[in-house]
Amino acid sequence: MSMTFAPATPDAVPLFCIEAPALDAALAVLPDAAQAWAKTTGFKASLGETLAIPGVNGAVACALVGCGADKDRRRTRFALAAARARLPLGTYALDLAHAPALDAEVEALGWLLAGYSFRHYRSSDAPERAGLVVPEGVDAHRLEAIAAGEALTRTLINTPSNDMGPDELEAAARALATEYGATIDVTKGDALLAENFPLIHAVGRASTRAPRLIDLQAGTQGPKLTLVGKGVCFDTGGLNLKPGGSMGLMKKDMGGAANVLGLAHMILALKLPVQLRVLIPAVENSVSGNAFRPGDILTARNGLTVEINNTDAEGRLVLADALALACEDAPDLVISMATLTGAARVAVGPDLAPFYTDAEADAAALSTAANAVADPVWRLPFWDPYEAMIEPGIADLDNAPKGGFAGSITAALFLRRFAPEARYMHFDVYGWQPSAAPARPKGGVGQGTRALLHALPQMLDL
């Protein structure tokens, strides 16, 4: 993978980003031969279109990248990223004079993200990509840290479950802790019962791979930020077994854990002045003689009882114990991230990350940040009138209300019961790019993390 900027060099090839309406003005400043070449080849500056213009010695003298028109850019992100794989090898220097609508930082990040390739199981190496000198005014260290965090998230999700179970997810967290001098504690197997994490144990006990709670902590000063990520490394659905067609992508059901580890990498690399805690309940939801059953009533860490009406609604169960633990430390902000419901995908599709919060200022800060860094999110409501839907009567809570209405909202309301006094934000992400797009190849993807990173200084008064 090539996800860093190229060293500055006086020989860097000028790379002109050109909006389609500005094409004539942009070509007018080029040498006559370059203008003629662009017109002869029919360059139109459509989104992602590239043109390498040769010099007198046959080498690339400059290159043009089309950025389309406003309506084209509203349909995509990272206009420059689309061109990276199409440019001849070399080192380029970005010129946005003819694309004033583009943001240099966003486009430079898109370039880095376009260097990601998951090749672990391929016999061939990734193809070389063109390099980019960091544009003037862009913080290279920040963008490279963000790209590295995103690469971590993508790779964790992309790795198949035979090589990414609870053990391997723990190993990834330990590697992050070692890299940044964080502490890590893991409660595993039957010790979960002794330490009062009954829901995590119940969901994971049927697997041959022991369930566990991963607890990473770093920093001793600043506001307390706790990230909680769903780490269901594979979800069969349990005794409410998924059909085969619904099981094929379940390696990504630890996408919430992958997201919070990627975000933690960014926070630690950039040395945000926070007391960071990352909690990951890591389990495999399997089927065996001791699997938890529909109709069981379980008691969570905080004493609330839960009627199990569907063993395939297990993510909220493991998160419940982790959220209860998180709130015992009185954090300033708790954020959970999970590939939690299909209802969220029905509501907003795979591209948007729905989030929930009761804090209006946090919602506004996050939405503004998401627009600034091209990491789209969409607020859904903690809708109090639906609280009755998660109250079955026989127990305090129902993990899978009947009827199918408002599935993402009722799941979020369920989780809020385990952080009742906290300043709490929840993300119901998809964690998967179903088809390739600029800077986002098909496969695992981070959602909401870059927006959060951008918003945290305002949210936490850093």
Catalytic residues: 242, 316
8 A C-beta contact, residue 155 and residue 118:
yes
Strand bridging mode 91-98 / 397-398:
unpaired
- DSSP-assigned beta bridge partners for residue 227: 278, 335
Phi, psi (rounded to 5 degrees) for 174: -65, -40
Write the DSSP string, 179-200: HHT-EEEEEETTHHHHTT-HHH
Q: Which helix (H) or strand (E) holds 66?
A: strand 60-66
Strand bridging mode 305-307 / 297-299:
antiparallel
8 A C-beta contact, residue 292 and residue 281:
no
Q: Which helix (H) or strand (E) holds 267?
A: helix 255-269
C-alpha span between 243 and 240 (Å, rounded):
9
C-alpha span between 295 and 298 (Å, rounded):
10
Determine how many CB atoms are found less than 10 A away from the CB of residue 450: 25
In single-letter form, the type of residue at position 336 comes to: S
How far apart, in Å, do the first and last CA atoms of the chain sit? 33
Measured over the CA atoms of residue 45, residue 370, residue 349 and residue 155, the dihedral's sign is positive
Q: Side-chain half-sphere of 333: how many Cα atoms within 13 Å?
A: 25
Question: What does the angle CA 206 – CA 211 – CA 215 come to, to the nearest 5 degrees?
Answer: 165
